[in-house]
DNA sequence: CGTATCATAGAACAAAAGTTCAAAGCCCAT
DNA sequence: ATGGGCTTTGAACTTTTGTTCTATGATACG
């Protein structure tokens, strides 16, 4: 019979493990040996130590030797808080007669609205901010009213990137894929049934790259 | 002059604060007083204690008295790992002549591809799975090739919810907002320039609710 | 100048927390 | 039964860690 590691655990070991998890849920920090002792109903600290060593062998946890609260729980599925990035929602984007807002540090620091995303989705979080789409004017960019658009400020926009572009001659901003073609800029709508068009590069101002679009329904 | 709390911090206090953050990034647990002492270049433990008290008064952190590593950093922005949910990507969605796939537990367990999202975005994670959109057939639902569609299985779909619907009479699936109107179903495209249409409820099969759409660009 | 308030240094202390060990109990296959 | 492996016990021990205290500087202010 092929037993998995979890099945081989003795009862006190399971108790210890679940106590550790429960404790960390509540306190964010690992318990001490003596807290485990009482919490899991173990008779002595040496018994806790003994069981912890077994759990260590079973790869279920690691320990930093001689450090207080030195437990490290091995949960491969557990994502770490550093894998989440909080992105401030700094304004709305309307694809209309005004530039897309860019955050100034003040509003950024005190902004209450944030959206949490996994770093795997957005990569390096530097210069990220979020805008809420307002109105139906961007359905050609496949962006709906209420969508959250994650932007990266100061990003270098490469050919084919989706970007917010402000058109000086028309005095409006738009979300398009941009391609540099000499001194012209090709702007290609996301909607493939629409034709791309061209503007003079000096009449266009790239305001940020669109990293990601989130639609909550 | 109205100074915010952060501006009043003395230099060693800022050093301490940033060391704590850095340390917790690396180790997941708060540092001890002496670790702060060395890490932030403070001359004595009593000085650390002194500054910690000041930071406590400034509401920048809390402490559990007499507990080792008893620091609690007051960072409302910090998200916890339990706030992340891993959603398996179980297949593709093509809005064509086949039903939207629903996950069977086997493939679900072993699926390698997952997408991490903050729980704040998707709520309770039960029954969530993700599909990757293929092709341009769904631009009317404002969904692009490559978009990730987060679905909830077994969800009760309310009027106005976006859902995957399989149309028995046409033998195709589609993403629309659904409204029950008697024994008919009103299906409303996301694209407001398109008209809603109606099907007999018994000819339609609601396969899941669309919780969220993610577009990586 | 005196003094009040804040900042620093250094050290000692007390409590918490991790480690170790010898002896004893338990189980089971030989 | 008996020896060897686990498990348990109880306690002591060491190290780490939080706390406190006094003495000393620094600075501002009436």
Residues of A tagged active-site: 137, 176
- Classify residue A55: in a domain, yes or no: yes
Task: Give residue B7's pLDDT.
Answer: 43
Which of the pair, A36 or B60, is modelled with greater confidence? Answer: A36
CATH number at A150 reads 2.10.109.10
Does the pLDDT value for residue B94 go beyond 80? no
Specify whether A109 is located in the same domain as A189. Answer: yes
In this predicted structure, what is the pLDDT of residue A190?
81
**CB neighbour list of residue A104: distance below 8 Å, 6 or more residues apart:** none
B31 CA from D9 C1′ (Å):
34
Pair (B54, B26) in one structural domain: yes
Q: Quote the crossing angle between the two packed helices A11-27 and A45-57, to the nearest 10°.
A: 90
A27: closest CA of chain B, how far (Å) = 9
> What is the pLDDT of chain A when averaged over all its residues?
80
* Residue numbers of the domain that contains B59: 10-73
Q: One of B49, B137, B186, B188 is an active-site residue; which one? A: B137
What is the per-residue pLDDT for B206? 83
Most confident of A194-208, B5-19, B104-118: A194-208
Is the confidence at residue B110, as pLDDT, over 60? no
Pairing of strands A71-73, A61-63: antiparallel
Token representation of residue B209: 């609710």
Same domain (yes/no): B58, B103: no
Is A162 near chain B, with CB under 8 Å?
Answer: yes
Task: Examine the pLDDT at B132 and tell me if it is beyond 80.
Answer: yes
**Residue corresponding to tokens 């050609």:** A140
Residue A6 lies in a domain: no
Q: Find which of B21, B24, B28 to mutate to test the A interface (most A CBs within 10 Å of its CB).
A: B28
Number of domains making up chain B: 2
Same domain for A138 and A109: yes
Interface test with A, best of B29, B76, B114 (most A CBs within 10 A): B29
- Rounded CA-CA distance A209/B120 in Å is 25
Is there a contact between A81 and B86 if contact means CB atoms under 8 Å apart?
Answer: no
B87 lies in the same domain as B179 = yes
Tell me the shortest Cα–Cα distance from A143 to chain B, in angstroms: 7
* Model pLDDT for residues B68-77, shown as the tens digit of each residue: 999 988 754 4
Residue B19's pLDDT is: 92
Query: Between chains, do A118 and B120 touch, taking CB under 8 Å as contact?
Result: no
With CA atoms as reference, report the closest residue to A116 among B57, B81, B105, B2: B81
Question: What is the rounded average pLDDT for all residues in chain B?
Answer: 80
| B95 touches B172 (CB < 8 A) | yes
Residues A120-161: pLDDT tens digits? 788 776 778 888 888 777 777 888 888 999 888 766 788 888
B69, closest nucleotide (Cα–C1'): D17
Closest listed residue to residue A172, CA positions, set A200, A204, A148: A204
pLDDT at A109: 47
Same domain, A18 and A54: yes
Overall average pLDDT of the A76-97 stretch = 65
């Amino acid at each position: 019979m092929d037993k998995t590691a979890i099945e081989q655990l003795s009862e006190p070991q399971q108790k210890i493990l679940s106590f550790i998890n429960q404790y960390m849920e509540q306190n964010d920090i690992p318990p001490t040996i003596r807290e485990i002792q009482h919490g899991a109903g173990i008779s002595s600290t040496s018994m806790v130590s003994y069981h912890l060593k077994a759990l260590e062998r079973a790869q279920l946890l690691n320990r930093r030797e001689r450090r207080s609260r030195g437990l490290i729980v091995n949960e491969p599925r557990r994502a770490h808080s550093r894998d989440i990035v909080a992105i401030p929602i700094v304004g709305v984007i309307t694809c209309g007669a005004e530039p897309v807002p860019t955050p100034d540090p003040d509003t950024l620091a005190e902004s209450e609205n944030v959206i949490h995303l996994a770093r795997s989705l957005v990569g390096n979080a530097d210069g990220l901010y979020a805008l809420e789409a307002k109105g139906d004017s961007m359905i050609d960019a496949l962006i709906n009213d209420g969508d959250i658009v994650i932007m990266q400020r100061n990003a270098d926009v490469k050919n084919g990137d989706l970007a917010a572009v402000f058109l000086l001659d028309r005095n409006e901003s738009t979300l398009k894929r941009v391609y540099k073609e000499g001194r012209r800029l090709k702007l290609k709508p996301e909607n493939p049934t629409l034709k791309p068009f061209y503007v003079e590069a000096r009449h266009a101002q790239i305001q940020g790259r669109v990293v990601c679009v989130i639609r909550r329904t």
